[in-house]
Amino acid sequence: MAEFPAKRLRRLRYNPTLRRMLAGVRLSPLDLIAPLFVRSGSGVRKAIASMPGQFQHSPDSALETVRRWSDAALPAVLLFGIPDSKDASGSSAWDGAGPVQTLVGLLKAKLPDVLVITDACLCEYTDHGHCGVVVGCGEGGADIDNDATLEALAKVALSHARAGADVVAPSAMMDGQVAAIRKALDAEGFLKTAILSYAVKFASSFYGPFRDAAQSRPQFGDRQSHQLDFASSRGVVSEALSDIDEGADMVMVKPALPYLDVIAELRRRTDLPIAAYQVSGEYASIQAAARAGWLEERAAAMEAAVAIKRAGADLIVTYFAEQLAGWLAEGH
Ligand code: PBG
């Protein structure tokens, strides 16, 4: 038994001012990226049942929403498109007049200070709901032709860059997607367009609500042939390191809260900015429990965001972005 036990660790926890001073992690609106779903039309603001507080917007309504977010000090948005028509190759994804491309143009014209990031994938645009060109479906999930998909992803990224996107974020988990997109962007002179790679993306059940929101649920099979197995511990960080070799400017880990160990490990292995995506299922779980009165939404959302930052993320993509900005402005 030590002679002077107790209280040595707790002594710093009594005074709330000292607690605040010693908080190593300070969340700021500048850490946050708000996802947004855009579809065609005008005056559309359609609630997403599985994600309370989230909407599918037409470009005009999206612009007003982003204006409000920007007024609340949020710096950045991540756009997802819901096209009018889908086909086997997902060709509406690189339609220069698609909802994402239209909104990007609108945002850069009206709110030039907002950083516009676009999700570059095909799953919202293919009739089968997969992230690329499907060539079969077996036990390993849907089999996607890697190299054919790279060509399509490059077209998508280029169409976003032409519309004015600041950052493109490829999320299909195809090998070589960052290099293919970098090459296509450079060839057209988009040297300033950055790539935020969804480098470490697990095959996760936490994407469930998003697939309703973006109408991108696979019609058969799953995404296990390209997304990471959640039980894998090897090869995870090298996914990110190879994207960095290919030219990624920032890397993302997704989902966030179940994979804080991966964020922390990646933090040790790279100096590049790391983003973490608190995905739809993480959001919906907190929302549902809060609605049932089982936990307090504000406290839980704040705790999750701080934990994600503490693990080593520089940026957090979160559906709580607007609420967090509001709470932070109140001084919490
Ligand atoms: C793919 C993509 C997905 C998400 C972001 N980009 C879905 C998927 O891989 O099925 C999920 C985001 C979320 O759940 O909030 N375009």
Domains, the chain, with CATH or none: 27-329 (3.20.20.70)
Distance of CA 182 from the midpoint of ligand 1 (Å): 22
Average pLDDT rounded to a whole number, residues 108-126: 96
Average pLDDT rounded to a whole number, residues 314-321: 98
Runs of H (alpha helix) within 188-277: 208-213, 236-246, 260-269
* pLDDT digits 0-9 by tens, 264-308: 999 999 999 999 999 999 999 999 999 999 999 999 999 999 999
172 CA closest ligand 1 atom index:
1
* pLDDT digits 0-9 by tens, 232-244: 888 889 989 999 9
5 pLDDT more than 80? no
Nearest CA to ligand 1 atom 10: 207
253 pLDDT more than 80? yes
141 pLDDT more than 80? no
Block residue for tokens 């019609």? 219
What's residue 137's pLDDT? 80
**Band of pLDDT at residue 321, cut at 50, 70 and 90:** very high
**Band of pLDDT at residue 6, cut at 50, 70 and 90:** low
What is the C-alpha to C-alpha distance for residues 270 and 241, in angstroms, rounded to an integer?
8
What's residue 135's pLDDT? 85
What is the C-alpha to C-alpha distance for residues 209 and 133, in angstroms, rounded to an integer?
24
**Band of pLDDT at residue 225, cut at 50, 70 and 90:** confident
Question: For the whole prediction, is pTM greater than 0.85?
Answer: yes
Distance of CA 278 from the midpoint of ligand 1 (Å): 11
What's residue 4's pLDDT? 65
What's residue 43's pLDDT? 97
**Band of pLDDT at residue 1, cut at 50, 70 and 90:** low
- How many C-beta neighbours within 10 Å does residue 249 have? 16
What is the C-alpha to C-alpha distance for residues 193 and 329, in angstroms, rounded to an integer?
31
* pLDDT digits 0-9 by tens, 161-192: 999 999 999 999 888 999 999 999 999 999 99
Q: Residues lining ligand 1, judged by CB closer than 6 Å? A: 119, 121, 123, 171, 207, 210-211, 223, 279-280
Known catalytic residues are 201, 254
**Under a CB-based contact definition with an 8 Å cutoff, are residues 129 and 82 in contact?**
no
Q: Is 111 exposed, middle or buried (0-12, 13-18, 19+ CB in 10 A)?
A: middle
**Band of pLDDT at residue 201, cut at 50, 70 and 90:** very high
Distance of CA 201 from the midpoint of ligand 1 (Å): 9
Query: What token pair was written down for 136?
Result: 């079969």
206 pLDDT more than 90? yes
Q: Is 202 exposed, middle or buried (0-12, 13-18, 19+ CB in 10 A)?
A: buried
